[in-house]
Amino acid sequence: MFFHSVNKSNIIIFSLMLGIVILFLVFKNSQLGIIDYADKHCQKNTICLIDMNKIIPFDWDKMYIIDKGMAPEDIEQIIGAKFNYETSLFYKIIFVRDQEVVYSDEYHPVDDSYMKKFIKPNFHYPYEREENYFSHYAISKDNSILSVKIENEPLMSDKIYYSIFPSNMQQTSGRE
């Protein structure tokens, strides 16, 4: 009897609302749990180590953090897999499993100005000088520790930045 009283427009509206909620949850999860994990386990303005194996909810072999502005063919050469995603001027985090991209996301804090918390990849190994820039880093399942530093300057902005960078030299690649 219930289904007879529900018209098609109500079902369509409900389906659209459910789809929007699912998209919102997927978008919120696109930060891969790094921010939530760091908030629970790290202190501000100190370097914290995060094991990506503990927070990534899907199977992966390698995680690539790639600097902004790279062409798709350069990304394919780095990750060793076909990259069928749009490229732009933003940082990318890409996960590969069995030489296939299983997850790709971009990070562009300028467009997300309504947000208070941002992942900010750092492409300088912390114990080296500025000229030792690298274009990407690769995190494998057996070398999955990533460094994170929560940075907040309340006098400058209400934003909190989660600066991520390699925890060891084996993760750095693409040195110029």
pLDDT (tens digit per residue) in 76-108: 998 999 988 777 767 888 999 999 999 888 876
The whole-number average pLDDT for the span 9-13 is: 71
53 and 69 inside one domain: yes
pLDDT (tens digit per residue) in 63-84: 998 888 888 888 899 899 998 8
The pLDDT confidence band at residue 36, using thresholds 50, 70 and 90, is confident
118 and 68 inside one domain: yes
The pLDDT confidence band at residue 175, using thresholds 50, 70 and 90, is very low
Which residue did the predictor score with more confidence, 41 or 3?
41
* Domain range for 95: 32-175
76 and 120 inside one domain: yes
12 and 25 inside one domain: yes
66 and 104 inside one domain: yes
48 and 102 inside one domain: yes
Q: Please state, in angstroms and rounded to a whole number, the distance separating the CA atoms of residues 35 and 31.
A: 7
24 and 78 inside one domain: no
Largest CA distance in the chain: 72
123 and 47 inside one domain: yes
Residues facing residue 107 across a β-bridge: 91
State the total domains in the chain.
2
42 and 127 inside one domain: yes
